Amino acid sequence: MEHDPVQVEELLRKSAAELSISIPDSAIPRFRDYLRELKKWNKAINLTAIQDDREIVVKHFVDSLAGLKVIEMTKEKYLLDVGAGAGFPALPIKLVRPDLSVELLEPSEKKGSFLRYMIGSLGLQQTTIATIKLEDYVNRRSIQRLYDCIVVRAFKVDNLGLVLGSLLKDGGKVVLYRATKVERDFKLDSLALIREVEYELPFGYGHRTLSVFSKLIG
């Protein structure tokens, strides 16, 4: 499927609706721009192995938006994306939830350049980039904000519970995008598994799970 604005809009709305997610009209042109620029930049920078429009829309955009199933619409305002890559899941979430304050953590300078370009091109406010490794980010003295929610889609977090927990407010959540539910022996120190939500991507593109961990208080 090649880029067609009408088809992209229909696909985006229909696929999101299958997961009970609505997309505001104002976000549609931005998703189209995101798709166009992602494919353009992907020719020079390895952002995604997926080339087909339908797969990008479903596997990247809609799968990212699935996180809204566990991100509370009214309470959670400060969101951190660890290992943001090409902006998934944080940028699609930001397009639907413009009220969120978002930081994207991505150590690759090349991917960081793409993210900065997209933030400017899409006119996103309260959205920043940190091109630094997670461990260095935690130790950076200038960090003052604690986050309500941390999303992780393409980054291994084994044994990083304490690190992630140090960036969360008390009661804050870490949302892991996974193919399967966590194993019984999977643990994140300082964080407790509180919920798992399973869903199927449209067009048979796969089974997914959102594993939600909460910061232990006290």
pLDDT digits (tens, 9 = 90+) for 88-115: 999 999 999 999 999 999 999 999 999 9
Q: What is the 3-state secondary structure (H, E, C) of 125-137?
A: CCEEEECCCHHHH
> What local confidence, expressed as pLDDT, does residue 4 receive?
75
Distance CA(10)–CA(15), nearest Å, equals: 8
pLDDT, one tens digit per residue, over 52-81 is 999 999 999 999 999 999 998 677 799 999
Cβ pair 64, 56 in contact under 8 A: no
Q: How many CA atoms lie within 13 A of 87 on its CB side?
A: 26
Place of tokens 């696929």: 15
**Which amino acid is it at 149?**
C
DSSP string, 175-210: EEEESSPPPTT--BTTEEEEEEEEEEEGGGTEEEEE
Q: What is the pTM (predicted TM-score) of this model?
A: 0.94
204: left (phi > 0), else alpha (psi -120 to 50), else beta? left
Q: Are 51 and 196 in contact (CB under 8 A)?
A: no
User: What is the Cα–Cα distance from 132 to 39, expressed in whole angstroms?
Assistant: 25
Domains of the chain in sequence order: 5-215 (3.40.50.150)
Regions in the chain scoring below 50 on pLDDT:
1
Sign of the torsion formed by the C-alpha atoms of 90, 137, 176 and 78: negative
